[in-house]
């Protein structure tokens, strides 16, 4: 037994805390294992106490004191763990505060009206892609339906809160991934830049709860999980990527960087990449449990080729320049930090993610602001890694550069109520509510999905808009030439639904030229016009929108 160690200490194993054990603790990865770092320091403290005891002096009395083996050992809370919790609370708090303007209003964009309409049909026993159809994936509709069931009403403000929580969780996910590579500073910056970039969009893009917002969390999870390199993480990455695709279909192209990351960080094992691809495919296929898979695939993927058609797009160069300018101004700090980090082979998967995000943003040349949410995660992760090597003074300056646009847009959203659609839409919704029962169906010939939501009525004809029937698409020149871009099968599906479940009211917005529908009167689809003339009578107009009522049978 070494001198200075009494018998009871020897029995308790205190002697085992030698220099070799302390050195091994110091060799652990301090960034990946913060708890181990704390334990290592504690171990060194025990060794110093033993050394002092072995030399005698003032510590000898403590060494001679009896040790109660049954006494509970009090562990001080790890400073690293405590800081981690404070960081998580701070990020979630900022994300919730960032969506404050959204808690003050219901609709912030027409996408929310479309999702809410689908959710209402689901809650009334309908089936997606059979009883209600849009060209979007199903997960947001299920989230909305769950919220409506939980609250007992169709209030959208809870959905805005859920979008805020998803943003905060996405930021924490990126922070974990950045911290594994470059430490706490990288984590802080990745999280902060994501929240700032998501809020610095135009108010109607930033404050909404739509497809792109809900896809952010599983998308960030897929990016980070694919970089871990294990079989389980590859499986998790594939599942999350599948969920992201079921929320916003453009995330499907992320299978390329996800598979590459799993292969690269998994010891270049092809099996890791195969797991990602297989898990993604199986997750998407699992939606067949709740919706008809063939119809889902047709309306969400294979029937959407016309959306990607750039012919007839209006002022592509001008809109692209504006979109690029707004994105760079809102994310100047993130862009600069990513460029400053430069090329590193270990970052190749992140650059691939960034390329796929840009491709998703540009696809169809529509450049909606919320499309850029797929660009932000890899950009912010790269920027966070770059921030870790910056001096504190430079980071303070970059903090201001990142915060100013986010705060400015947030303030604008707070003081400016959202304008969703034209004033005639709420007026029409009130008319529908007054002249129909809650279980009556209504058809809107036009592009006004928010009307169904405002009136709390389900659509007859299945489609949330009739754009499918006439080939209409955002930022494309409206004309009858667009009819060739009608989605295959849309007209027959629409007519079959009308005949099976005829609406109480049929609203023709083409007579009011609402949202470009002056180019698409009922006569462009003769079968629809014939159906209306045979079964409905004109009862009047409201702001030039023609209203037809079903004839008594």
Residue 74: the pLDDT is 54
Q: Tell me the pLDDT tens digit for each residue of 314-342.
A: 888 888 899 999 999 999 999 999 999 99
Residue 240: the pLDDT is 98
Residue 257: the pLDDT is 98
CA distances from 195 to 98, 172, 202, 242, 406 (A): 8, 10, 14, 23, 9
Residue 61: the pLDDT is 39
Angle 295-298-304 (CA atoms, 0-180°, nearest 5)?
A: 145
Residue 308: the pLDDT is 64
User: Which stretches within 477-525 are classed as H helix?
Assistant: 490-500
The more confident residue out of 333 and 72 is 333
CA distances from 281 to 81, 237, 244, 278, 288 (A): 37, 12, 12, 5, 12
Does 294 score more than 50 pLDDT? yes
CA distance 21 to 15: 11
The more confident residue out of 228 and 25 is 228
CA distance 125 to 131: 9
Does 12 score more than 80 pLDDT? no
CA Rg value for the chain: 29
* Helix (H/G/I), strand (E/B), else coil: 338: helix
β-bridge partners, 505: 442, 549
State how beta strands 536-542 and 441-445 pair.
unpaired
Residue 512: the pLDDT is 96
Q: Tell me the pLDDT tens digit for each residue of 382-404.
A: 999 999 999 999 999 999 999 99
Residue 55: the pLDDT is 40
Residue 342 DSSP symbol: -
CA distance 30 to 183: 8
Rounded percentage of the chain residues whose pLDDT exceeds 70: 84
Q: Residue range 97-115: average pLDDT? A: 93
Residues 353-359: contacts with CB under 8 Å, at least 24 apart? 353/223, 353/254, 353/257, 353/377, 353/378, 354/378, 354/379, 354/382, 355/257, 356/253, 356/254, 356/256, 356/257, 359/253
The more confident residue out of 386 and 8 is 386
CA distances from 465 to 448, 452, 462, 507 (A): 6, 10, 9, 12
Does 47 score more than 80 pLDDT? no
**Which band of pLDDT confidence, cut at 50, 70 and 90, is reported for residue 375?**
very high
Q: What's the chain's average pLDDT?
A: 87
Placement of tokens 């919704």 in the chain = 429
* Helix (H/G/I), strand (E/B), else coil: 39: helix
Q: Residue range 79-106: average pLDDT? A: 91
**Which band of pLDDT confidence, cut at 50, 70 and 90, is reported for residue 27?**
very low
Residue 37: the pLDDT is 38
Q: Residue range 70-92: average pLDDT? A: 74
State how beta strands 441-445 and 505-508 pair.
parallel
Does 230 score more than 90 pLDDT? yes
Residue 445 DSSP symbol: E
Residue 59: the pLDDT is 39
Q: Residue range 436-464: average pLDDT? A: 96
Residue 304: the pLDDT is 75
Angle 59-63-68 (CA atoms, 0-180°, nearest 5)?
A: 135
Does 271 score more than 70 pLDDT? yes
- Shortest CA distance to 220 belongs to which of 279, 281, 286, 176? 176
Residue 67: the pLDDT is 45
CB half-sphere exposure, 222, CA atoms < 13 A: 32
Please classify residue 150 by burial: count the beta carbons closer than 10 Å to its beta carbon, then call 0-12 exposed, 13-18 middle and 19+ buried.
exposed
User: Which stretches within 246-292 are classed as H helix?
Assistant: 255-265, 270-285
Specify whether the CB–CB gap between 551 and 518 falls below 8 A: no
CA distance 535 to 530: 9
Residue 42: the pLDDT is 37
CA distance 32 to 184: 10
β-bridge partners, 548: 506, 538
Q: Tell me the pLDDT tens digit for each residue of 397-427.
A: 999 999 999 999 999 999 998 888 788 999 9
Specify whether the CB–CB gap between 431 and 504 falls below 8 A: no
Chain-centre distance for alpha carbon 26? 39
Specify whether the CB–CB gap between 504 and 549 falls below 8 A: yes
CA distances from 471 to 310, 478, 532 (A): 13, 9, 21
* Helix (H/G/I), strand (E/B), else coil: 402: helix
- Shortest CA distance to 147 belongs to which of 132, 164, 159, 130? 159
**Which band of pLDDT confidence, cut at 50, 70 and 90, is reported for residue 78?**
low
Residue 15: the pLDDT is 34
CA distances from 304 to 113, 374, 491 (A): 20, 20, 15
Residue 315: the pLDDT is 81
Does 545 score more than 90 pLDDT? yes
CA distance 22 to 13: 15
Structure tokens at 256: 């390329």
Q: Tell me the pLDDT tens digit for each residue of 482-509.
A: 888 899 999 999 999 999 999 999 999 9
Rounded percentage of the chain residues whose pLDDT exceeds 90: 73
Does 57 score more than 80 pLDDT? no
Please classify residue 519 by burial: count the beta carbons closer than 10 Å to its beta carbon, then call 0-12 exposed, 13-18 middle and 19+ buried.
middle
What are the residue ranges spanned by the domains of the chain?
7-67, 100-289+316-415, 424-550
DSSP string, 192-234: HHHHHHHHSS-HHHHS--SHHHHHHHHHHHHHHHHTT-SHHHH
What is the pTM (predicted TM-score) of this model?
0.84
Residue 551: the pLDDT is 94
């Amino acid at each position: 037994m070494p001198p200075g160690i009494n018998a009871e200490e020897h029995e308790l194993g205190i002697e085992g805390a030698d220099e070799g054990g302390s050195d091994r603790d110091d060799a652990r990865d301090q960034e990946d294992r913060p708890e181990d770092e704390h334990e290592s320091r504690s171990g060194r403290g025990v060794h110093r106490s033993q050394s002092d005891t072995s030399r005698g002096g003032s510590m000898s009395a403590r060494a001679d004191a009896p040790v109660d083996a049954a006494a509970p050992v009090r562990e001080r809370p790890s400073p690293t763990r405590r800081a981690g919790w404070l960081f998580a609370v701070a990020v979630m708090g900022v994300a919730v505060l960032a969506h404050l303007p959204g808690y003050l209003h219901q609709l912030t964009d027409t996408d929310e009206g479309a999702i809410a309409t689908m959710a209402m049909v689901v809650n009334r026993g309908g089936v997606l892609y059979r009883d209600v159809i849009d060209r979007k994936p199903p997960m947001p509709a299920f989230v909305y339906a769950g919220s409506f069931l939980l609250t007992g009403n169709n209030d959208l403000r809870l959905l805005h809160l859920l979008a805020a929580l998803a943003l905060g969780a996405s930021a924490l996910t990126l922070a974990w991934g950045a911290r594994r590579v470059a430490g706490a500073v990288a984590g802080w910056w990745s999280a902060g830049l994501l929240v700032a970039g998501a809020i610095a969009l135009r108010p109607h893009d930033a404050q909404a709860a739509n497809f792109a917002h809900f896809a952010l969390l599983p998308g960030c999870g897929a990016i980070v999980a694919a970089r871990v390199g294990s079989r389980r993480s590859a499986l998790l990455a594939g599942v999350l990527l599948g969920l992201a695709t079921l929320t916003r279909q453009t995330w499907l192209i992320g299978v390329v960087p996800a598979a590459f990351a799993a292969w690269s960080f998994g010891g270049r094992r092809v099996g890791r990449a195969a797991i990602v691809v297989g898990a993604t495919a199986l997750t998407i296929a699992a939606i067949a449990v709740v919706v008809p898979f063939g119809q889902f695939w047709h309306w969400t993927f294979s029937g959407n080729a016309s959306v990607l058609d750039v012919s007839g797009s209006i002022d592509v160069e001008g809109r692209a320049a504006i979109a690029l300018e707004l994105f760079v101004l809102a994310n100047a700090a993130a862009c600069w930090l990513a460029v400053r980090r430069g090329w590193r082979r270990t970052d190749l998967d992140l650059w691939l993610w960034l390329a796929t995000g840009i491709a998703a943003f540009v696809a169809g040349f529509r450049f909606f602001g919320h499309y850029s949410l797929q660009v932000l995660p890899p950009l912010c992760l790269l920027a966070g890694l770059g921030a870790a090597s910056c001096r504190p003074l430079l980071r303070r300056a970059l903090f201001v550069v990142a915060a100013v646009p986010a705060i400015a847009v947030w303030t604008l959203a707070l003081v400016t109520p959202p304008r969703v659609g034209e004033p005639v839409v709420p007026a029409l919704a009130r008319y529908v509510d007054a002249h129909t029962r809650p279980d009556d169906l209504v058809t809107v010939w036009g592009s006004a999905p928010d009307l169904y939501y405002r009136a709390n009525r389900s659509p007859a004809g299945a489609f949330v808009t009739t754009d499918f029937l006439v080939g209409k698409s955002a930022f494309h020149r409206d004309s009858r030439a667009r009819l060739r871009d009608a989605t295959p099968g849309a007209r027959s599906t629409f007519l079959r639904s009308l005949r099976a479940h005829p609406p109480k009211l049929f609203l023709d917005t083409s007579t009011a030229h609402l949202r470009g529908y002056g180019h698409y009167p009922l006569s462009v689809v003769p079968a629809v016009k014939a159906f209306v003339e045979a079964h409905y009578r004109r009862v009047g107009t409201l702001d030039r929108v023609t209203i037809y009522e079903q004839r008594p049978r």
